Amino acid sequence: MRARRCAIVTMEPRENLEFNLALLSEGGNGLQTVLAWVAVAPHTGGEVAVTAGEVELLGKVSPSAWCDLDDLAALHPPLLIEALLSKSLLVREGSDADGRDRRLRDTHWRSASAAMHYASRWHGVDTEAMGREFEEVSGQTLLERLGPSPPPVRERVDRDRRIRLPAGEASSLDALLAHRATCRNFDRSSALTQAQFAGVLYRTYGARAVDDFAPGVQLLKKGVPSAGGLHATEAYLLVQRVEGIEPGLYHYHPVDHALEPVRTLTAIEAATLARRFVAAQAYFVDAQVMVIPTSRF
């Protein structure tokens, strides 16, 4: 059986404040600081406490070359090895931890970027519940607690020093923009027509042409700008209510102007996932379609 160190792990020496009843009985306040190591490994999806001995051992195991576990046990305490395997910081070949680690390796993240990305993701956030809890605990609304907001514009000079600009001539574009509005209210009793749905997708993500830029190099021409003409941003869709399309997750194919089914969902499953996507912000949950932009690196 072989193992190696996981691809990416960062170590943080952390100082924690803890309560110790024995210290309280000695006449103190019962509080003590405890120094500990914490490992942040993106493939584990969280943090894990490690000992100084485990940190030292990890520094002696290659993240690229596999080593035989028996050979490793001949050089290092077996209990440390087993502890690191159980925490998925050492990964056993063919294990679930190895699979997660390989998927992370395939993304070619820089270590600091991967740690930041995975550590800063939201988990189990429900903004409605948090708002209610805040008001229950504080007895105030957010506005009462935080006070008035700052001015809508940061003014850098006095009013009489501003250089006034002429208004632009009204055009058909102005008339179109005047009719545009941001909506936070979605009618659960209605569905988008396929024509409406397809039109928005094509205008924002659809490829109007494919350019054979060089041998083996094709560039997409879209209605939105993209640095270098790479158009690395694609659309994944959570469909809740579109005529003729089952609720579910889809990938939009910009060249074929077609949907690729990723996962079929019931209406209840789709609504539950939508609520998770928007951290329970109620005014977005009922959107007929949610677009999840993703970029290929």
How many Cβ atoms sit within 10 Å of the Cβ of residue 244?
8
| pLDDT for res 24 | 75
- The closest alpha carbon to 200, from 173, 239, 231, belongs to 239
pLDDT computed for residue 126 by the predictor: 84
Question: What was the pLDDT predicted at 147?
Answer: 87
pLDDT at 27 over 80: no
- The answer, yes or no, to whether residue 46 has pLDDT greater than 90, is no
Closest by alpha carbon to 239, among 197, 189, 278? 197
Q: Which uninterrupted H or E stretch holds 119?
A: helix 111-119
pLDDT digits (tens, 9 = 90+) for 105-139: 998 889 999 988 888 887 778 888 888 888 888 88
Q: H or E stretch including 55? A: helix 52-58
pLDDT at 53: 93
Per-residue pLDDT reduced to its tens digit, 67-117: 999 999 999 999 999 999 999 999 999 999 999 999 999 988 899 999 888
Look at the block and give the residue holding tokens 């056993």.
92
Per-residue pLDDT reduced to its tens digit, 263-286: 999 999 999 999 999 888 888 999
The tokens for 259 are 């949907």
Distance of alpha carbon 4 from alpha carbon 62, whole angstroms: 6
Q: Is the pLDDT of residue 207 over 80?
A: yes
Is residue 233 a contact partner of residue 294, using CB atoms and an 8 Å limit? yes
| pLDDT for position 239 | 97
* Tokens found for residue 92: 């056993």
Residue keyed to tokens 């690196």: 297
Distances in Å between the Cα of 94 and the Cα atoms of 40, 66, 98 are 22, 12, 6
| Global pTM exceeds 0.85 | no
| Mean pLDDT of the region 193-206 | 94
Q: How far apart are CA 199 and CA 186, in angstroms?
A: 19
Longest dimension (CA), the chain: 82
| 212-227 pLDDT tens trace | 888 988 888 988 888 8
SS3 238: strand
